[in-house]
Amino acid sequence: MVLGMIFAAKFVDFILPPRCIVTGDIVDKQGMLSSEAWAGLRFISQPQCDRCGIPFDFEHDVQERGEGADCAACLREPPIYNKARSALVYDEASRELILPFKHGDKTHFILGFLPWLKQTGGMILEEVDLIMPVPLHRWRLLQRRFNQAGIMASYLSKEVGKSCCLDGLQRVRSTPTQGHMRAKERKKNVKRAFAVNHKYTDMIKGKRICLIDDVYTTGATVNECAQTLLNAGAIYVDVLTLARVVKPVNG
């Protein structure tokens, strides 16, 4: 299914003139953004938490913690994953890109996302052995027809020349959507929701893995996936997402 969508995306790429994926203005190259669309996006850069990648937006944070430090939330409760990085702040502008991609009518957006993922992933992508998407439950996969994280993982692995395992993780129980849940509820919601596909246990054992998803919200999902992979013998698990929710860092 994912492969079919990828071929479809390549086909769309082939027949259409290069246009900005947001505004539709003609641009030099497929996947590029017009300057108007670009201006609305907030890219995440240093200084940021070394673990979860949240930007240290506030002056006191940078002064108090300095670059390369962990944020208060990560110090209080260290994540199970090793490091997480996201290209964009999840806000109105990035949502306009991500939602149509997620719901399957704008799969060619991946061409615009790839350079951002590659740049944001930097060292993470260089050092890992295997790229894997956060899975959807098969019912949701049926509804939505494809897993957006699977498309991202598949394209990115080709771009950076790393192996990709699309079906290595499975959702073993369907979980309610987490839209309005708080961090604690999300954690409970995804508890034991994932399992390693037995076909791929040898592939996962002893590997450094980069998990891919579209949006990082509280980290509950990727932490649970990371725990599942660590239990299966992965050395460590990093996380790369297109966007992340950024809330003011307190304390």
Q: Give the interface with Zn ion as residue ranges (CB under 5 A).
A: 49, 51-52, 71, 74
**Residues in Cβ contact with 167 at an 8 Å cutoff, skipping those fewer than 6 apart:** 135, 197, 199, 200
**Burial label, 68 (beta-carbon count in 10 A; 0-12, 13-18, 19+):** exposed
Q: With respect to Zn ion, which residue has the nearer C-beta, 27 or 238?
A: 238
Contact call for residues 148 and 154 (beta carbons, < 8 A)? no
Cβ at position 249, least distance to Zn ion in Å: 8
Q: With respect to Zn ion, which residue has the nearer C-beta, 51 or 207?
A: 51
Coil/strand/helix, residue 233: coil
**Backbone torsion region of residue 42, taken as left when φ is above 0, otherwise alpha when ψ lies between -120 and 50, otherwise beta:** beta
Cβ at position 84, least distance to Zn ion in Å: 8
Q: With respect to Zn ion, which residue has the nearer C-beta, 74 or 151?
A: 74
Q: With respect to Zn ion, which residue has the nearer C-beta, 82 or 175?
A: 82
> Distance between CA atoms of 60 and 191, rounded to whole angstroms?
35
Contact call for residues 110 and 8 (beta carbons, < 8 A)? no
Contact call for residues 53 and 244 (beta carbons, < 8 A)? yes
Q: With respect to Zn ion, which residue has the nearer C-beta, 51 or 171?
A: 51
Q: With respect to Zn ion, which residue has the nearer C-beta, 38 or 43?
A: 43
Cβ at position 79, least distance to Zn ion in Å: 7
Q: At 227, which amino acid appears?
A: Q
Structure tokens at 6: 């990828």
Cβ at position 177, least distance to Zn ion in Å: 25
Q: Write the DSSP symbol of residue 26.
A: B
**Backbone torsion region of residue 53, taken as left when φ is above 0, otherwise alpha when ψ lies between -120 and 50, otherwise beta:** left
Q: Which residues, listed in sequence order, are joined to residue 130 by a DSSP beta bridge?
A: 163, 209
Q: With respect to Zn ion, which residue has the nearer C-beta, 40 or 47?
A: 47
